[in-house]
Structure 1
């Protein structure tokens, strides 16, 4: 299968590099073409438009920043759905609303091709270490075709949530809620420990060696102890975007999320204070203030 990749942010470029180790040529498109140059040196082929890339490929993988950007590259006469080969597959790795996934699947069906939801858990360092977890849903036959690409992209595991494309998107939002609430809770715990005269590094080492030994607590905990939060592996403004999606989905699903709303408020405060382009762990600075 000819494969294409759209979206070369910090995470996207790491995934594209993984794919290039297994699959050439890989067709790539990014709104800022200069970001694709390191990939060209490794064998990628730059396309000048979404339309050109989609018309060339059997499978298009996208990881763009939000629902609006995804709709922009998917819908309309210049988009993926209208130009992808008949029977082709669009694999979306973005964190989006479940309702957006459902509506885009309909657009693809109207053009005789497929849409697969495949958001992922993992930062750029996890992508480079090939330790990503994909949360997938959609047509079973189409999914079976793209599973090898997800493994090539850096997938350590592929978790299936059924044929409804909304399911994988919902699973990702539920997961990101736990990540964001864990980061903010650890930031507050570190501050409480410090203000109480405890060495926060010693306290965190005890926790991450016992009750909270998972990757989120170990990785983000170590980052929270550091000063300075750039370059961002997962920017605070993207974290706020996800928090907004989580609260929107909670309203759509009629699920109360008082903790989620407080996390959203803390992230809004941090962005307002100028930390938007910093790593999500810089939320601790807003809490400290």
Structure 2
């Protein structure tokens, strides 16, 4: 199969590098210079989305938001119109379930497939091939692309049904717990310091006992270091995800008072100039 990859950001680049290790890879990025390290390793650079889609049986995309995904997928020069007949577009972006539904319908019109496969994991997890891949969509096509998800760095593949909305919904719920966890840890660490106890020792106790999960272990370490650059999960993107979570809560009639509070903290952090910093920079708002 000819494999394409669109979106060479902090997370996309190491995933594309994983695929390049086992496949001939066609790449496109809006800022072409970001593709050069992959080209140096053997990837073929395409000058447009249309050119890449025309060449490929499978196209991976991981772009910043719903609008960016629609931009590369829709229209006369988009993925859907030019992907090979029976080809598969694997979307790894964090988006609204409704967007996935619309894009699946568009691909169906062009006789190809859209599969939702958002990711749980930071860039370092991608480089270590320890990503969790959430996936949903046509069962036969999901089975066909599973080996590619493993090649992309997936240590585990979690299936959420044949509706393309399943994996995006699971990803939003997951990111909500991450964001609320980071905010709560930032507050807890600040409270511990203000109370005169060793915050690092306290978090070490928690992460070795009742909070021994990667989110708490990794994010608490980052919060304690107070080193917010370079961003693994950018604060501006975190706010985008929080906004999507609350949009989905409205669409489903789900009340999320804690979610609104977390959204407000992220908004304050972006307004304070931390948009390009790591999400853990929300701690700077908590301190004030």
The TM-score, its normalising length taken from structure 2, stands at 0.99
What's the offset of the Cα at 1:204? 0.4
Question: C-alpha separation between the residues in 1 aligned to 2:144 and 2:62?
Answer: 19
Structure 1: distance between partners of 2:237 and 2:214: 20
How far off is 1:41 after superposition?
A: 1.1
Pairwise CA distance, 1:14: 0.6
> 2:133 aligns to what SS in structure 1?
strand
What are the superposed Cα offsets for residues 142-166 of structure 1, whole Å, 9 maximum, x if unpaired? 1111111100000000000100001
Aligned to 2:2: 2
Q: Distance in 1 between matches of 2:208 and 2:143?
A: 38
Q: Aligned equivalents of 1:67 and 1:88: distance in 2?
A: 21
- Write the mapping of 1:14-29 to structure 2, written as runs, cut at 5 A: 14-23=14-23, 25-29=24-28
**Post-superposition offset of 1:242:** 0.2
**Is 2:217 the counterpart of 1:218?**
yes
User: 1:48 is paired with a residue of what secondary structure?
Assistant: coil
Q: List runs of 5+ in structure 2 lacking aligned partners.
A: none
CA RMSD of aligned residues (A): 0.5
CA–CA distance in 2 between the matches of 1:78 and 1:203?
54
Q: Distance in 2 between matches of 1:69 and 1:88?
A: 21
Q: 1:22, CA displacement in angstroms? A: 1.0
- C-alpha distance after superposition, 1:220-251 (max 9, x if no partner): 00000012310000100000000000000000
| Match of residue 168 from structure 1 | 167
2:275 corresponds to: 276
Unaligned runs of 5+ in 1: none
Note the C-alpha offset of 1:97: 0.1
The alignment partner of 1:34 has SS state of: helix
Distance 1:208 1:109 in 2: 46
Aligned to 1:158: 157
Separation in 2 of the partners of 1:146 and 1:40? 24
- Name 1:202's counterpart in structure 2: 201
- Aligned counterparts of 2:194 and 2:58: Cα–Cα separation in 1: 53
CA distance in 1 between partners of 2:261 and 2:130 (Å): 30
Question: With structure 1 as the length reference, what TM-score do the two structures score?
Answer: 0.99
Say whether 1:135 aligns with 2:118: no
Question: In 2, Cα distance between the equivalents of 1:278 and 1:214?
Answer: 23
SS class of match (2:190):
helix
How many Å separate the matches in 2 of 1:216 and 1:141? 33
**Partner SS, residue 80 of structure 2:** helix
Task: State the distance in 2 between where 1:137 and 1:179 align.
Answer: 21
Cα distance in 1, alignment partners of residues 205 and 44 from structure 2: 48
* Cα distance in 1 between the residues matched to 2:260 and 2:2: 43
Structure 1 runs (4+) deviating above 3 angstroms are: none
* Worse overlay, 183-192 or 221-230: 221-230
Deviation at 1:12, TM superposition (A): 0.2
Write out per-residue CA displacement over residues 75-112 of structure 1, whole angstroms, 9 at most, x where no aligned residue: 00000000000000000000000000000000000000
Please give the secondary structure, in 2, of the residue aligned with 1:233: coil
CA distance in 1, matches of 2:226, 2:251: 38
Describe the SS at the equivalent of 1:95: coil
Q: In 2, Cα distance between the equivalents of 1:32 and 1:160?
A: 33
Count of residues paired in the alignment: 288
- Measure the CA separation in 2 of the matches of 1:97 and 1:227: 31
